[in-house]
């Protein structure tokens, strides 16, 4: 497959107009995001209504240049202020835009799974994320059938998932000629500045640096494999009913499916029932702050959260108990995020990426985000997913744009655990009353 992908061109695209040059201050949440690029990939299929200029390269570049005007920080580079604090130097140097051809059809690549090989095929990569590197890299790969893959690599210090999807939605709106629907980003990150009278009111375990858990960038200590599973809407609804307690309290899709995945992973890994397992996640705090941040806040507005439990409690008893634990562990509000920001002001914020231990799990939710609005005028993508998973124990929850409005679950596990996980996942769903 690698030999079948040929790079046609590679160039920097700069904003189409003059943009501000003042550096942008980064919040504590930006600085404690993993100092890496994160990779996503979109697949588009050629259909009968698609015109001959489907994904015109010139249209993509010109609309990208226009989108970089309001989102000009992406065209800059990381730098440091006089105190050595990392900031964005708004140099306007541009983003990388690569065009490639793949000598197979999209159907030949139909069984997509996230992997390093997939990332290297379809996503431009940076040699190192700490130098004054390019912050956004894109690759458009045309398949033999006329379908297309759009690979994206964006620096995590600059944006979180919602910010990235907002930019992509703006880019595609401009490509469709709908400039009036462009989302103007809020670039002022001082809204998340630490308070003068710092008040650390919670135990922020998730931000404690543990040297034993550090993994060099691009290297994993685990022999693992990744898979994507499709969960139907009726399975999700049945699972949510199973997760309700006797009072029939509403359970979110995130908490219901995460409770199920946590249980199945613990069983698939055959963990000692007396041992402990910790589930890590991140919580978008935009709507939870007082006053709330607008959805267009451009930066990292997520905080880390986790839930620890005895394995026996996760795998036995009502699954509603696991969902309840997740609710309690991910129900943070304004006081919590302010406490996180104040706490980070007192510690080393240059936290390297950490691996997930063999007993733990890291779940990231893209549910409800605008990833499927990345439509250049020829239809929404058939799939959006991470291009690869950093190590074993990573999970992504992704909306399914199909007719049944279900979801995809991208999972990375040890090879010996993956087959068992798949069996357990669908057995547990069947136990909710739907075969």
Annotated catalytic sites, by residue?
Answer: 156, 375
DSSP 344-376: HTTS---PPPBPPPTT-EEEEE-TT-SGGG---
CA dihedral 62, 66, 71, 77 (to 10 degrees): 50
187 — alpha (psi -120 to 50), left (phi > 0) or beta? alpha
The tokens describing 213, both together, are 């858990």
Q: Does a cis peptide bond (omega within 30 degrees of 0) precede residue 291?
A: yes
Longest dimension (CA), the chain: 62
Location of structure tokens 């231990």: 357
Integer Cα distance of 410 and 129 in angstroms:
25
Question: Which ranges of 93-176 would DSSP assign to H, the alpha helix?
Answer: 116-122, 161-175
> Which CA distances in Å does 338 have to 28, 31, 302, 341, 353?
11, 15, 12, 5, 23
Per the CB < 8 A criterion, the answer to whether 113 and 386 are in contact is: no
Integer Cα distance of 269 and 45 in angstroms:
37
Cα angle: 344, vertex 288, 361; to 5 degrees: 65
User: Closest Cα partner for 67 from 368, 301, 299, 374?
Assistant: 374
């Amino acid at each position: 497959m690698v030999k079948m992908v040929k790079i046609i061109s590679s160039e920097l695209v700069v904003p189409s107009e003059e943009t501000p040059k003042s550096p942008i201050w980064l919040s504590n949440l930006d600085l404690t995001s993993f100092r890496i690029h994160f990779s996503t990939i979109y697949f588009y299929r050629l259909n009968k209504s698609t015109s001959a200029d489907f994904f015109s390269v010139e249209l993509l570049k010109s609309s990208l240049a226009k989108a970089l005007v309001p989102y000009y920080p992406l065209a800059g580079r990381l730098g440091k202020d006089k105190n050595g604090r990392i900031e964005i130097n708004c140099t306007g140097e541009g983003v990388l835009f690569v065009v490639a051809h793949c000598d197979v059809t999209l159907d030949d690549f139909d069984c997509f799974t996230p992997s390093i090989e997939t990332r290297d095929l379809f996503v431009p990569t940076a040699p190192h994320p700490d130098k004054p590197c390019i912050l956004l890299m894109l690759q458009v790969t045309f398949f033999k059938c006329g379908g297309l893959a759009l690979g994206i690599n964006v620096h995590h210090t600059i944006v979180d998932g919602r910010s990235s999807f907002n930019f992509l939605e703006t880019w595609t709106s401009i490509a469709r000629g709908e400039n009036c629907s462009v989302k103007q980003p809020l670039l002022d990150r001082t809204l998340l500045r630490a308070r003068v009278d710092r008040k650390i009111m919670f135990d922020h375990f998730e931000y404690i640096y543990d040297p034993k858990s550090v993994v060099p960038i691009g290297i994993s200590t685990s022999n693992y494999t990744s898979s994507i599973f499709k969960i139907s809407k009726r399975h999700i609804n049945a699972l949510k009913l199973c997760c309700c307690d006797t009072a029939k309290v509403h359970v979110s899709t995130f908490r219901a499916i995460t409770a199920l995945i946590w249980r199945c992973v613990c069983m698939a890994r055959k963990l000692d029932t007396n041992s402990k397992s910790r589930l890590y996640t991140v919580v978008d705090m935009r709507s939870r702050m007082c006053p709330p941040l607008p959805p267009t806040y451009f930066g990292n507005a997520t905080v880390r959260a986790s839930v620890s439990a005895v394995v026996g409690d996760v795998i036995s008893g009502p699954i509603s108990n696991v969902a309840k634990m997740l609710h309690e562990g991910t129900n943070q509000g304004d006081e919590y995020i302010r406490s996180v920001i104040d706490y980070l002001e007192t510690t080393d914020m240059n936290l390297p990426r950490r691996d997930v231990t063999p007993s733990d799990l890291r779940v990231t939710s893209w549910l409800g985000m605008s990833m499927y609005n990345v439509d250049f005028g020829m239809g929404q993508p058939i799939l959006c997913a991470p291009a690869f998973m950093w190590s074993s124990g990573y999970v992504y929850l992704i909306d399914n744009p199909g007719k049944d409005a279900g979801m995809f679950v991208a999972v990375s596990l040890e090879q010996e655990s993956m087959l068992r996980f798949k069996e357990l996942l669908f057995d547990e769903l069947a136990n909710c009353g739907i075969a």
